[in-house]
Amino acid sequence: MLPSFKLHMHHAILDRLAKVGKYDGTHPSLTCGTSSGKVFLHNPHDKNEDDAAQAVRFLNINRDVSALCVGKFRDQDAGDTLIVGTHANILGYNVEKNSDAFYKDVPDGVNTMLFGTLPNIPSRMVMVGGNCSIQVRAEITPSRRGNEELVVGSDDYEIRAFQAEDVVCECSETGRIVDLTSIQRHLFGYALDNGTVGVYKNSHRVWRVKSKNIPTSITAFDINGDGELEVRGYLFEGNAPDGTSKDGGGAATSLLADEISAEEKEVQALIKAKAGLVGQLKAYENAGLKTTKGTNVRVATTTKYDHLNKLDLYGFNRVCVSTLVKRYLLTSIAITASTTISHENVELTVSTENESVIKMIVIFDYDAGIFDGESLVIRPATPAPKATVQLPTLKKNVAATLHFRVGNRGNGNVFHVFEETFALPKFADFFPLKAAPPVRPSGCVKFKRPIRMQQVQPWVKASFLQTDVLRVSETDVDDYNSIRLKLTGDMADDSNQLKHLVIRAEDARILHD
């Protein structure tokens, strides 16, 4: 992409503090936050065109500027209002009148601001994100309820959608959310501090791509004029990777090209090696044609014995290889998890089912953000068939799928890598107590019972570790009812037989029999 024009402001522009507003209602002006608590406005359409310096004006806020936004509170307003946020207050400024519109103290500080409306409040307002774990906000409709919802990214790696004060959906990510952008209905883009840029549709991730560079902001617009919005992330180093909002095609294509070129180099190396072997064979063939008849006989005899010895060696090697292959085919990796009151972390035990030893374990986590850098490497001091992995302290309760790469060595010449996955439950840090605690707990968790109690048991098994077999009282009640009905039927049958006997006895006494 080639820039249409360039502006040299000669002032440092802080991250995510650049906005464009129409303060006179017609002409756009560039507004940026700079150091020393100042905001400068660049208006190339100003009347004072003779002096270029007059195109830039400064507003002295006397506090570190943390957020900017521009917009109209009412449709009948002549121009946009500039809103400046600091770590202690929020200021509304009328640029044309050079006067303050309003001033408000914000105890939690201002990290981000957004002009918008809420379903229950039709008037436009400024929505402010402060230090209560809220960092960035965008306005979309992710849950298909028809109303616009407020999407919030926070420092705890969570993206939440709010309707009023209720959370309608929640998504877990692997890093702190840096920026969000609205694309279309049900679609929004996000950027993380670990270099990840992606797109969500409702509460499901459509695609994502990760870079070694950290993005500072993200936006969506039609770059190539095909009618489809592309998501573009802006990085510290000046790069701006982009991808389509549907599948991230632009970013994905560049990644795949590197993999294909690497495979092509390997193929070329194999072709060269094959050509070298063919050349050596031809050289041996030409040298053999120059020998005499007696030499040919000796060479043939020697070659015969060499071939016989090689055949015996190949047969022995084939037996060894088949035994080795059979061993590795029978080798399987078992992964178990445990947690106790004496251990602060969750422990995973990785073991093999034969004498093969574990040399190294690499664990990848792509979704939950359990590890710093999305991976954890463990190398046992003494290789053994069993290795223990202590996971770091979990920052939040979230389910994760861990991808294991287990390096296994059966002898001194063969190294094998096994791939396994392990589903870590959401509440892996919790474990059942064998006995009641001596001190009665001060808190508890209450929830409504579902229609069928059988639904609780699979949820507990999927959410906790080391859960014993649950006994559902409802099943016992059904068993008791069936036994009661059976006993009642047996008693009815016995009473009928007794009644007949009594009647016969009375008849017998009446008849004097």
Which of 21-25, 259-263, 275-279, 446-450 is predicted least confidently?
A: 259-263
In this structure, the answer to whether residues 126 and 197 fall within a common structural domain is: no
If asked whether residues 174 and 233 sit together in one domain, one would say: yes
- Residue 284 domain-assigned? no
pLDDT exceeds cutoff 60 at 211? yes
| Residue 382 pLDDT > 70 | yes
Query: Of 265 and 321, which is predicted with more confidence?
Result: 321
**End of a domain among 405, 424, 443?**
424
CATH number of 341's domain:
2.60.40.10
Q: Which residues constitute the domain of residue 210?
A: 162-238
pLDDT-derived band at 54 (thresholds 50, 70, 90) equals low
Which CATH number do you get for residue 225? 2.40.10
Could you give the CA distance from residue 412 to residue 431 in angstroms, rounded to a whole number?
41
How many folded domains does the chain comprise? 4
What does the pLDDT average to over 155-182? 82
Last residue of a domain, one of 400, 424, 448: 424
Considering the domain architecture, whether residues 385 and 323 belong to the same structural domain is answered as no
- Tally DSSP H helices, then E strands, for the chain: 4, 28
In a domain, 473, yes or no: no
Q: Which DSSP string do the residues of 117-180 spell out, in sequence order?
A: EETTEEEEEEEEE-SSSEEEEEEE--SSSSS-EEEEEETTSEEEEEETTEEEEEEE-SS-EEEE
The token pair that represents 17 in the structure block: 């503090």
To the nearest 10°, the Cα dihedral for 286, 287, 290, 294? -130
Which domain-ending residue is among 424, 439, 455? 424
Q: Are residues 179 and 203 in the same domain?
A: yes
**Is 78 inside a domain boundary?**
yes
**484: region left, alpha or beta (phi > 0 left; psi from -120 to 50 alpha):** alpha
Residues 132, 47 share a domain: yes
- List pLDDT tens digits, range 168-180: 888 888 888 888 8
The lowest-confidence range among 84-98, 221-235, 323-337, 403-417 is: 323-337
Share of the chain above pLDDT 90, in %: 0
Residue 196, classed as helix, strand or coil, is: strand
pLDDT digits (tens, 9 = 90+) for 469-502: 555 555 667 777 888 888 887 777 766 665 555 5
Confidence of residue 260 (pLDDT cuts 50, 70, 90): very low
**CA distances (Å), 5 to each of 8, 17, 47, 223, in order?**
10, 20, 21, 16
User: Does position 132 have pLDDT exceeding 70, yes or no?
Assistant: no
Question: How do residues 412-455 score in pLDDT, each as one tens digit?
Answer: 566 778 888 888 888 887 877 777 778 888 888 887 776 666 77
In the predicted model, is pLDDT for residue 263 greater than 50? no
Instruction: Say whether both 118 and 187 belong to one domain.
Output: no
Q: What is the pTM assigned to this prediction?
A: 0.56
Q: Considering the domain boundaries, does residue 435 fall inside one?
A: no
117 and 172 in a single domain? The answer is no
- Note whether residue 275 is domain-resident: no
- Tokens 């063919």 appear where? 278
Nearest to 158 by CA among 182, 132, 139, 140: 132
Q: How far is CA 223 from CA 179, 231, 240, 245, in A?
A: 20, 9, 12, 12
Q: Report d(CA 461, CA 360) in Å as an integer.
A: 30
DSSP E strand boundaries for 143-293: 149-154, 158-163, 166-172, 177-184, 187-192, 196-201, 204-210, 215-221, 230-235, 242-244
Mark whether 118 and 46 lie in a shared domain: yes
- Residues sharing a CB contact under 8 Å with residue 62, sequence separation 6 or more, in sequence order: 37
Measured distance CA(410)–CA(355) in Å, rounded: 7
Same domain, 232 and 109: no
285 lies in a domain? no
pLDDT score of 133: 44
